Amino acid sequence: MSMEYTILGVLMDQPTHGYSIKKHLLEAFSKHLGLNDGQLYPALARLERRGWIKKQIIEQRSSPTKHLYRVTKVGEAAFFDWLAADDSEAEPALYDFFWRYGFLQKCSFFHHLPAGAIVAQTRQKLEEVDRRIAQLEGVLKRM
């Protein structure tokens, strides 16, 4: 599901087409992401079925038909709910930090939130990290 929110985040900045979304995600988040058309376009279809995005078909004379995606009001609400949500679910340390770590994905779109909300979420995450470090230090001392 987090890939879908990441796609919404890209579309929150401006309406665009699938290729542009893929290009943006690969440039911004890593070419090692492994994102392919078989993941992107089904995710766009799911977002459209939920009513979170709307596809506009643009006929072109000398080029293939272009599909322009834009976020709907329902999609905006879902995006902001996700962005503002308490992200305190227990997430283990992962090696593929960005793509698999929801908080880091959210950070990429914090420019949509007021400064106070950004500070609050960041402080909360730092407190969680401090607690986890303390737990790991306790384990280390018992070894």
Note the pLDDT of residue 68. Answer: 95
Q: Compute φ and ψ for 70, nearest 5 degrees.
A: -140, 150
Note the pLDDT of residue 89. Answer: 55
Domain ranges of the chain: 2-142
The pTM assigned to this predicted structure is 0.65
Class of domain 2-142: mainly alpha
Note the pLDDT of residue 141. Answer: 85
Tell me the C-alpha distance between 137 and 143, whole Å.
Answer: 10
Spell out, as residue ranges, where the chain has pLDDT lower than 50: 90, 93-95
Three-state secondary structure call for residue 1: coil
What are the helix (H) ranges across the chain? 2-13, 18-29, 37-50, 73-84, 97-100, 102-107, 115-142
